[in-house]
């Protein structure tokens, strides 16, 4: 069978939500040991062979045929993946892909920033949960705070990304006292800071005593923030705000206290080839077998169009956020 279309089609799930965003986990390996992501079982390995670079590109081509225009590479830590620069280069050359992104913990960013920009990277997220070197060590088990901080500033100075996005998971008694400092820094720089509610994921140290909800985070910021209108093509879970004429932005990703599933526009691909319809859902499908059978990008795209509409593969919960009893993802394996 030849490609089902010479132009981009549209992926629409059984709830009528258009999907244009794919998160790709290149590896489950990480060079940090943050408890909310890596988990207490730090020596565990995710079973199954990782996709090769060419297999990743074949699948991304199939998604581009299906209307995906935004691809984000995650992990684990994606900069640990050998070939990351070439993967970015090949992805940026795929027709229809306009946004090529990386989410990184920043430890290796100083080494990769310029090569990634030259390869076509045009969006960057850096995870940073503290502005204090000692707290950074306590959260991550690593002394690399200064290097991450400097790499963020270098990325801002490059002007390659519009605003550099920064992800901060808020935990009571760990970093919640830093919320005002984070907000001041982000607003004064070309940073879009997203405060993320601590989610109850598998093997994490999540507990209600550590949870800080959006309302409390906003009260700690103490500023009269003005909500921005979301760009439909780049919509996501973050609700973003400005303050006066300052260049930065502040966003909130509040999966526990609020639901944003009705506007979800994303799918996730693991390093083993598992396609995940919902982060807290229970359905996935492996695409590696299609590649092994010699399926073309067009044939994979046709499969995707049908799979996305399968009842239960994508879900639409009630008005509240995720519940504590739901299936918990292993964040290191699904790319966050």
Locate 106 and state its tokens. Answer: 């920043």
pLDDT in the model for residue 206? 60
Nearest-CA neighbor of 165 among 199, 124, 133, 135?
Answer: 124
In a domain, 5, yes or no: no
In a domain, 3, yes or no: no
Q: CA 1, CA 145: separation in Å to the nearest integer?
A: 51
pLDDT in the model for residue 43? 47
pLDDT in the model for residue 24? 96
In a domain, 47, yes or no: yes
Residue-wise pLDDT for 325-335, tens only, equals 444 555 555 66
Plot region of 150 (φ>0 → left; ψ -120 to 50 → alpha; else → beta): alpha
Q: CA 162, CA 155: separation in Å to the nearest integer?
A: 10
Q: Which residues pair with 127 in a beta bridge?
A: 167
pLDDT in the model for residue 7? 42
In a domain, 240, yes or no: yes
DSSP state of 233: G
Q: CA 268, CA 277: separation in Å to the nearest integer?
A: 7
pLDDT in the model for residue 311? 86
Range of the domain at 163: 11-334
pLDDT in the model for residue 4? 39
In a domain, 185, yes or no: yes
Q: CA 323, CA 326: separation in Å to the nearest integer?
A: 6
CATH number for the domain spanning 56: value is 3.20.20.70
Alpha helices in the chain (DSSP H): 53-65, 84-92, 109-119, 133-140, 145-158, 179-188, 214-221, 288-292, 297-308, 331-334
In a domain, 4, yes or no: no
Provide the domain count of the chain: 1
In a domain, 2, yes or no: no
Q: CA 82, CA 19: separation in Å to the nearest integer?
A: 29
pLDDT in the model for residue 135? 97
**CB-CB neighbours of 54 under 10 Å:** 12
Residue-wise pLDDT for 18-62, tens only, equals 999 999 999 989 999 887 776 544 444 555 689 999 999 999 999
In a domain, 327, yes or no: yes
- Per-residue confidence of the chain (336 residues) as pLDDT tens digits? 333 344 446 899 988 889 999 999 999 899 998 877 765 444 445 556 899 999 999 999 999 999 999 999 999 899 999 999 999 999 999 999 999 999 999 999 999 999 999 999 999 999 999 999 999 999 999 999 999 999 999 999 999 999 999 999 999 999 999 999 999 999 999 999 999 998 776 556 667 788 999 999 999 999 999 999 766 555 568 899 999 999 999 999 987 787 677 788 999 999 999 999 887 666 789 999 999 999 999 999 999 999 999 888 887 755 555 544 444 555 555 666
**CB-CB neighbours of 139 under 10 Å:** 22
């Amino acid at each position: 069978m030849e490609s089902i279309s010479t132009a981009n089609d549209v992926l629409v799930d059984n709830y009528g939500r258009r999907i244009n965003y794919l998160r790709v986990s290149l590896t489950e390996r990480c060079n940090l040991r943050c408890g909310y992501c890596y988990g207490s079982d730090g020596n565990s390995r995710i079973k199954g062979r990782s996709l090769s670079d060419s297999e990743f590109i074949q699948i991304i081509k199939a998604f581009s045929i299906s209307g995906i225009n935004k691809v984000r590479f995650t992990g684990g830590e994606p900069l640990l993946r050998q070939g990351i620069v070439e993967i970015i280069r090949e992805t940026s050359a795929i027709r229809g892909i306009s946004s090529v992104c990386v989410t990184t913990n920043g430890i290796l960013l100083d080494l990769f920033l310029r090569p990634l920009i030259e390869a076509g990277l045009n969006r960057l997220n850096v995870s940073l949960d503290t502005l204090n070197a000692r707290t950074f060590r306590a959260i991550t088990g690593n002394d690399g705070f200064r290097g991450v901080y400097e790499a963020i500033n270098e990325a801002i100075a490059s002007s390659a990304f519009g605003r550099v996005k920064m992800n901060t998971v808020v935990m009571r008694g760990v970093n919640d006292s830093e919320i005002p400092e984070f907000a001041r820094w982000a607003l004064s720089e070309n940073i879009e800071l997203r405060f993320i509610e601590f989610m109850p994921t598998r093997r994490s140290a999540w507990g209600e005593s550590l949870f800080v909800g959006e309302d409390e985070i906003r009260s700690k910021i103490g500023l009269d923030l003005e909500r921005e209108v979301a760009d439909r093509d780049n919509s996501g879970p973050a609700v973003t705000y400005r303050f006066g004429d300052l260049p930065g932005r502040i966003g909130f990703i509040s999966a526990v206290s609020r639901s944003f599933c009705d506007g979800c526009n994303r799918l996730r691909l693991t390093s083993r080839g598992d396609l995940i319809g919902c982060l807290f859902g229970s359905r996935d499908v492996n695409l590696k077998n299609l590649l092994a059978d010699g399926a073309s990008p067009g044939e994979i795209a046709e499969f995707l169009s049908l799979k996305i509409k399968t009842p239960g593969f994508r879900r639409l919960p009630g008005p509240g956020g995720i519940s504590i009893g739901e299936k918990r993802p292993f964040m290191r394996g699904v790319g966050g």
